[in-house]
Structures are given as C-alpha cells and as structure tokens.
Structure 1
Amino acid sequence: MKTISLDVHAHLAPIDAQALARIAGVQWQSDPPRLVLDGHAVGLADLFFPDRLLQWMDTHAVQRALISVPPPLYRQQLDAEAARQWADYLNDGLVDIARTHSARLSALLHLPAEHPDVALQALERHRGDDIEGVALAAGGDARIVLSNEAYAPLWQALDDRGAFVFLHPGACADGRLGAFYLENLVGNPLETSIAASHLVMAGVPARYPRIRFCLAHAGGAFTSLVGRLERGFDTKRPGVGLDVERPLLAAARMYADCIGHHPGVVQLARVVFGSSHVLFGSDWPFPMGLPDGMPADDVGQLTDR
C-alpha cells in the first residue's frame, strides 16, 4: 500500500458538551451522538471522534491530516457577534484536537467568510498557536464575494503568514438545485468555481503570492472554466480587467485536492494547477469523498512559501 504523507481535506466536529450548552441554537445529544444546529441534525457520528479518523488513516497509510469543520457547521446565517462566538468555539476545539494528536493532525481554523472582519479577528486570536492554515467557505451566503476589497486586510494577514487557505463550498442557495441532491452534486463545484473566479479575475493570487489557496473537489467547475476566463481576457470582454495576471497563470499558483470522481477531471486539474499542486484529499468521513482504498497516484506535496 502506498503511503500518503498528507490528507488536506478531512473533517472533524469538536465536541465540548458543557461549552455547547451555553451556545444559542446548538444542542449536543450523546445517545445516539448527533449535533443539532439551528434545528438541523448532524448525525454522522465519525465526525465527533478523532480516534476514528486516526484509525482510518492507519488503515489507508495516511501519515498526517489537516482537519477542518464541514459545511453543516458553518451556520452562515449568524450575525457578526454570534459568528465570532461560534468560530471561537470551533477553533478552540480544533486546536485542542490537533494539540492532543500533534504527530498526526493539524488544524485549519474556521474563518466565517461572510464576515471578513470577524474572520480576521478569528485568525488573530490564534496567532500564537501552531496551526497549519485556515478554511473558508467558498459560498453559501450572498455576502461572500472574494474579490471585494473588504477582504484585503484578511488576505494581507494570511499572506504575511504564508498560510494554506482551503476553500470549501458552503450551502448552495440556488433553488433550482433542490432536487436529485444537485445542491451538493452540482452546487458544491459551482460555488468553488465562483469563489476561485473572483479571486483570479481580481488578481488576488498575484497580489498575495505567499497565500497557498487550495480548492476542494479538484477545483470544482473552475478547473474546466478557467480556459473560458482566459478567452474573456484575450478578447477584452466588458468588465474584464486586463491589468491583472492572466487566469491560467493565476490558477497555476493555486492548489486543488484530488477528489474529482473521474480520472479525466483529475488529469485536467493536473494540467490547470500543475501536477505538483494536486494534493491528496479524502473528504473523510463523507460519502462524497474518495472511495476506501482508492490509490493516491501522483499526488503533489504541500510546500511552504
């Protein structure tokens, strides 16, 4: 079995029953284990037990994993103060889990992207902690427009740290995708594409070159659409700024995980991002992740900047 040095896309949900009891809109139920968030039950029990992730890693020869909270925990409807409190709870829990299992797990802080100022506060709060990077929702809320200058202080702070920034889709708000599980199957890659396109067309990767942006799910739809962005650049389409780095050059600065669900999609990701920038990701423990035992052929290695 081939050894996998790093999984950049693994999820855990930190559970502190006493702390959760003090947070409005949240209820922890231990038997069976489930977390009820604003009336929605999250019952995938593997999320709540780090030891289960470690056992899976041992089975599949994964040496280390970056842990982030999954979209059901984003709670993107919260106002700024409630979002700050919730991010503090999640990040304290992730850091504690990573500290307990420091040889195997590293935390990606949850930054509430719908509140750029709160996201910056959440990052600064853990300045002294040994964290691997951060996770941001690619979408799920109309306020998340990553080309907006409101994010500039956050990008600068992340650039100063040479941070790994994992962009993961949140909920898709397109009502047409309510049937057939399309809000996940189609909505998730769509949200990632919108977020990455805003970053590229605004020149963010070139302005903040030490940020290592990583796109979930093999880059989502962005992987197949970046050539169209390039064509818009070539033909000087209305609204396209020509004073920024070309889309294909900007994409080559980014990373993506290998969860493409088709060999051709993964190969296209290698063409767009570069073979060394397509990293192993499992999406553990969700069913839409990699099937158990799928080999991680030719994945790249995350490097520092």
Structure 2
Amino acid sequence: MVCIDVHHHFFPLSLQKDKPKADLGWRTPAENLPWTPELSVKAMDDLGIDMAILSLPAIPSGEISQENRSLARERNLYLFEVCKTYPRRYGFFACIPFLHDIEGVLAEIAYAFDELNADGISLASSYGEGPEAVYIGDERFDPIWAALHHRKAVVFLHGTQTPCSTPIPHPFLGVPITEVPNETFKAAAHLVVSGRKRKYPDVKVILAHMGGTLPSLAPRIAALSSYMGCPLTPEEILDDFRSFYFDTALSSHEVTLTAINNFVEPNRVLFGSDFPAVNRETVNWYTKQLRQYAAGEEEKLDGIFCKNALELFPRLRNLIVDA
C-alpha cells in the first residue's frame, strides 16, 4: 500500500535542534541529528513511507524585516533543491516570513507557488510571543487568506510551542506533548468563530496531530461561543470544524481515531509521521495502532495512507507508483 506522509519536518541547522530544550521539556532523538534529506529517505524506506511533504516546525517569533524575508526565501530554495534531487520522495510546504509582514508573505506565497511549485504553505497557530501573540484568524491577515483562497491552496497548520502558566507540570509532560496540540485546536477554533474558515472556503487546511484537542472540544465551542455572541449557529460552527483536514501524526489510536471517524468524512484524514521530531519506534507504534483500528477496511486505510492526499496534491499522481 502506497504511503504519503503529509507531516514530515526538515530541520535546518539554524534551529539548533541538537541543543537540549529544557524550557520546553523535549529532546529531539539524537540519531535524527543533524537532519539531512538522506537521513529521512533511509527512515522512510524503513517505515514504508513512499513520499513525504516537508515542512518547517512552527516558528511563531520573528519581526518584519528583510532578513526575515531572506531567510524564508533561502529555506524555500533549499526545499526546492531537495525536491529536485528526490522528485519521487519529497514535496514541500513553503516557509513564509513573519506573518505580520503582509507584503513579504504575499510575495513569498507567489514565488513559492509560481516559481518553485510548492505543494502548499505551512503556518504556525499564532505569531508573536506572550500577550503579543496573534492567532491566524485575525482580520489583519485577511489579505493572506484571500490570496490563498484565490489559489485554492493547501495550508499545513501546526501548533506552536507556547508555554502556559504551568508549562511543564511533570518532566514527562513537556510543552510539545501537552501544549502544542491545544494550540492547533485554538488556531482552528479561531478560524471558525472569526468567520475566516467560512469566508475563505477554498483554502484547504490540514491540522497537525488530528487537530489536537479539537474532536473533544468542538461541541463545547459550538454551544458556548454561540452563547457568547458568535453569529454562527452551533450547527454552522460544527460544520466549519468538519471542513478541516486532519493528519494522524502522534495521534493514531483507537480512542482518537474513533472520535475523528465519528466527526468527519473519511476523506478528511491523512497519514502523518512527525519524523524526525520523534524516533522510528514511535512512528511505528502509531502506524501499528492505525492498521489495527482499520483492520480489514482496506479502502479506508488506502484513503488515509494515500488516496486522500492525492486528492489534495494531484501532481503526485504521476510520481507515485501503483497509486
């Protein structure tokens, strides 16, 4: 069965993933560093992954500057070269400058799609730090969403590593483990209740980690946000939540798969590994859970592993054998 991984990161050396992040309570597997395209290809071969769409981990901090624009361009040119070297193994979600730089973001979106043939763009759940953080459904970002809507673009949305008031309640419960999934949900909820998801329906948004806490909290938002004055009805809010796509990275288990299966149509679920942020054993554990959950349902498995991704990224049809 062909497998397309829509949640697969690349780690530029500038991210310094080799340095312990004690403030986040997470360590990247040492065997995955320094990251190279060849390292991921070897892992993909071992994990049964035919093609991966590369993305940068969510980076919410930054500033409006030429340096920030140049860094996004440099990373996108690098990803373009990786895809040229391994055309049957990689696609990529383009990086963008700091989101407040509307002009710079729009220019990079145009360049990434028109010149580099990017498969989509990646977005963090919010931009800025602390009380200055702004979620992506904010009205100031409307020109960006309008441009993506015009292109019928795919967006990969990943939660930020935003600490809460008790960022690491236990050494086994670091920020990436507990907070990132909720940041993804908060960004998705912000897009829905602000009306942006409904205003720009042609943007196809993939939520990392199966939307984080979204499957359990969507009904809470539907009723309580409506009560607080959201002009959408509870039913409309739930419909808009169902219009997202969801990847399985670090989320495949009978509990979560049952929840998402009862909430969205089968074609909304895509395979994701989160490699190289986690080791191969972790990817294999989740993939095993996925296969066990849908055992005997080959059509559903084929959709999650391949067919649903091909609907979003039709150019891959000519690259994937036996798809």
Q: TM-score when scaled to structure 2? A: 0.77
1:229 matched to which residue of 2? Answer: 221
SS for the counterpart of 1:70 is coil
Alignment of 1:90-109 (within 5 A): 90-109=75-94
The answer to which structure, 1 or 2, has the higher relative contact order (CA under 8 A, 6+ apart) is 2
Amino acid aligned to 2:46:
T
Q: Distance in 2 between matches of 1:160 and 1:102?
A: 27
Distance 1:78 1:42, change over 3 A: farther
For residue 151 of structure 1, what is the aligned residue in structure 2? Answer: 141
Deviation at 1:172, TM superposition (A): 0.9
Distance change in 2, residues 1:165/1:288 (3 Å)? farther
Q: Deviations over 1:246-283 (max 9, x none)?
A: 12211221101113153211221222232221110000
C-alpha separation in 2, matches of 1:78 and 1:304: 30
Match of 1:204 among 191, 196, 210: 196
In structure 2, relative to structure 1, the CA distance for the partners of 1:139 and 1:147 (3 Å cut) is closer
Change (3 A) 1:57 1:42: closer
Distance 1:170 1:197 in 2: 15
Contact 1:203 1:245 in 2 (8 A): no
Q: 1:140 to 1:272 in 2, by over 3 A?
A: farther
Compute the displacement of 1:286 (Å). Answer: 1.9
| Residue 113 to residue 165, structure 1, CA distance change in 2 (3 Å) | farther
Runs of at least 5 residues in structure 1 that lack an aligned partner in the other structure: 16-25
Preserved CA contact (<8 Å) 2:28 2:277: no
CA deviations over 1:61-84 (Å, ceiling 9, x no partner): 22211001124xx3x432211322
Q: Decide whether the 8 Å contact of 1:6 with 1:62 is kept in 2.
A: yes
Letter in 1 for 2:133: R
Paired AA for residue 140 in structure 2: A
Query: Does structure 1 residue 177 correspond to structure 2 residue 167?
Result: yes
The residue that corresponds to 2:207 in the other structure is: 215
Q: Which amino acid aligns with 2:200?
A: Y
Letter in 1 for 2:179: G
Q: Secondary structure at the match of 2:92?
A: strand
Secondary structure (helix, strand or coil) at the match of 2:227 reads coil
Q: Is the 8 A contact 1:67 1:105 kept in 2?
A: yes
Q: How far is the alpha carbon of 1:112 from its aligned partner?
A: 4.1
Q: For residue 276 of structure 1, what is the aligned residue in structure 2? A: 267
1:131 matches 2:131: no
Partners of 1:184 and 1:96 in 2: how far apart?
30
Q: Which moved more, 1:207-216 or 1:110-119?
A: 110-119
* Greater shift in the superposed pair: 242-251 or 159-168: 242-251
Q: In the alignment, does 2:254 pair up with 1:263?
A: yes
Tell me the distance in 2 between the aligned counterparts of 1:170 and 1:4: 30
User: Are 1:254 and 2:244 an aligned pair?
Assistant: yes
- The correspondence for 1:240, drawn from 218, 230, 234, is 230
1:287 match: secondary structure:
coil
Please say if 1:65 is aligned against 2:52: yes
Instruction: Note if 1:121 corresponds to 2:113.
Output: no
Query: What are the Cα deviations for residues 84-118 of structure 1, in whole angstroms up to 9, with x where unaligned?
Result: 22212222211221121111100101224542513
Task: Assess, with a 3 A threshold, how the Cα gap between structure 1 residues 280 and 14 changes in structure 2: closer, same or farther.
Answer: same
Distance 1:105 1:47, change over 3 A: farther
Describe the SS at the equivalent of 1:196: helix
Conserved 8 A contact 1:113-1:137: no
Cα 1:192–1:246, aligned 2, differ >3 Å: closer, same or farther?
same
Of Structure 1 and Structure 2, which has the larger fraction of its residues in helix? 2
Unpaired segments ≥5 residues, structure 2:
292-300, 314-323
SS of structure 2 residue aligned to 1:66: strand
Contact 1:251 1:272 in 2 (8 A): no
Over the matched positions of the two proteins, sequence identity in percent amounts to 24
Q: Matches of 1:105 and 1:197 in 2, distance apart?
A: 30
Distance 2:235 2:80 in 1: 36
Q: Indicate the RMSD between aligned Cα atoms, in angstroms.
A: 3.0
